[in-house]
Structure formats: structure tokens, C-alpha cells
């Protein structure tokens, strides 16, 4: 049994090394504006990983995409395939942005970010290879305008899980501002802050959201409620 586990791990490590080389090639092609060669490499790798091309991946929900990656794979292989797919989505976004097609590129950035957030929501990864874009890298690529409400909701949950309460609060207020502080969302925000108030002061301070700021935020939610 141990030998099977070791074989799988070694196989996956070889896959990761080979994929890192592919990513380096794609970056090189894009840097030299060899768009067709970069696109061909992205398409080949995506089909190998998922059985679909990039346009088809956009039509899948994150849950559907994960289900496709999970099929007949051990957990450690699913994690690496998910990271590779997110990396290819980011590369496709970069490729389109580099060709002055930012709106098309943005769709791939969002899909890659959502895939990472969905993955982190299911379990914390053991190892994240260096080639995998971070959440912050995706956010930088999407910084030209506000994020969709669904994305901010995923980010809020992600940051709360990490104990980064200040950034979770920022995502919450992005939602409230975009949705004109709907009553149900104000209640959702209140439950978030009430959860935080059950934490001790040291935990809140480490999350950059002291108790006094939480109480102030609760008061602001009350002010936003329609009369």
C-alpha cells in the first residue's frame, strides 16, 4: 500500500515539474507576442487536464468543473489538477488581455479565481506549487473595476476562514454598496459581525478588526436599514 502511495506521489511530482515547464513556455510565447503558439499550448494542456477547451470551461460552474477534475482521481491528484487548471485560466486571461481583449480575459480571470476559492473552501491545500497564481494575483488582474457580488461573497468566506477579518469586512461592504444595502444582506452582515464578537480580543486583533471597529460596523449597518 505504501509503495502505491509513493508511486502516485512521485507521478504527481513529475506531472507538476512537466507542467511548470509548460507554463514557462506559455509565458515566453506571450512575452514575445507569439499569441498563436501560446494559445495552442494552453488549448492542448487544458484538453489534457479536463477533456474540454477553454470556451467550454467558462460554461461550467465551479462545482461542475471540480466534479470533472475529481473523476477517478485520488485527492492529491485532484488538488494538483485543480491548481494546473486555475493556472491555465489565468494564462488564457493574460493572453486575451495582451491582445487588447480585456473583457474576454476578465471572464477567465474570474473563473480561475472562483476555482481557487472553491477549492480552498473544501480543504486547505497541502502544497501550492510556485507556478500557481495566488488569490492576490487574480485580484490584481481584476482591479480595473468592482468585482461581482458572487465573487465578493466567496472572498468574504475565504478571508473569514483564514482569520483575515478586515479583508472579509471589506468584501462584505463591497457587496452592500453594490446591492444598495438590501435588508437581507444587512442581516447577513450583522450575523457575520456577531460571529466575530464571539472571538476573543487577541484573535480579532490578529485579524486586523478590533472589537471596537466591529461595534462601529454594526452601528453603520443599523444606519443603512430603511426607515
158-177 pLDDT, tens digit per residue, is 999 999 999 999 999 999 99
User: Are 7 and 106 part of one and the same domain?
Assistant: yes
Whether 9 shows a pLDDT value over 70: the answer reads no
| pTM of the shown model | 0.89
- Number of domains, the chain: 2
144 falls within a domain: no
101 falls within a domain: yes
Q: In terms of residues, how long is the chain?
A: 227
Whether 218 shows a pLDDT value over 70: the answer reads yes
Rounded Cα distance, 147 and 29, in Å = 29
155 falls within a domain: yes
139 falls within a domain: no
User: Are 67 and 100 part of one and the same domain?
Assistant: yes
User: Are 13 and 116 part of one and the same domain?
Assistant: yes
User: Are 185 and 100 part of one and the same domain?
Assistant: no
Which residue range is the domain that position 27 belongs to? 2-124
The end-to-end CA distance of the chain, in Å, is 65
Over the range 168-206, which residues count as b (16 or more CB within 10 Å of their CB) and which as e?
Answer: bbebbbbbbeeeebeeebbebbeebbeebeebeeeebee
30 falls within a domain: yes
134 falls within a domain: no
Cell matching residue 81? 489538477
How confident is the prediction for the chain on average, in pLDDT?
Answer: 89
Amino acid at each position: 500500500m505504501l509503495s502505491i502511495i509513493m508511486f502516485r506521489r512521485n507521478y504527481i511530482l513529475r506531472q507538476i515539474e512537466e507542467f511548470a515547464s509548460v507554463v514557462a513556455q506559455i509565458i515566453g510565447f506571450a512575452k514575445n507576442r507569439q499569441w498563436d503558439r501560446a494559445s495552442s499550448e494552453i488549448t492542448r494542456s487544458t484538453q489534457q487536464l479536463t477533456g474540454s477547451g477553454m470556451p467550454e470551461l467558462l460554461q461550467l460552474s465551479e462545482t461542475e468543473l471540480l466534479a470533472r477534475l475529481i473523476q477517478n482521481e485520488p485527492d492529491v491528484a485532484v488538488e494538483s489538477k485543480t491548481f494546473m487548471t486555475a493556472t491555465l485560466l489565468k494564462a488564457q486571461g493574460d493572453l486575451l488581455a495582451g491582445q487588447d481583449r480585456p473583457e474576454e480575459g476578465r471572464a477567465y480571470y474570474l473563473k480561475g479565481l472562483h476555482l481557487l476559492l472553491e477549492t480552498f473552501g473544501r480543504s486547505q491545500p497541502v502544497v501550492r506549487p510556485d507556478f500557481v497564481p495566488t488569490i492576490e494575483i487574480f485580484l490584481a488582474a481584476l482591479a480595473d473595476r468592482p468585482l461581482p457580488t458572487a465573487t465578493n461573497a466567496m472572498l468574504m468566506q475565504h478571508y473569514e476562514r483564514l482569520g483575515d477579518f478586515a479583508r472579509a469586512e471589506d468584501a462584505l461592504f463591497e457587496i452592500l454598496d453594490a446591492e444598495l444595502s438590501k435588508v437581507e444582506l444587512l442581516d447577513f452582515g450583522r450575523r457575520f459581525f456577531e460571529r466575530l464578537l464571539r472571538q476573543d480580543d487577541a484573535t480579532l486583533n490578529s485579524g486586523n478588526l478590533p472589537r471596537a471597529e466591529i461595534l462601529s460596523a454594526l452601528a453603520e449597518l443599523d444606519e443603512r436599514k430603511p426607515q
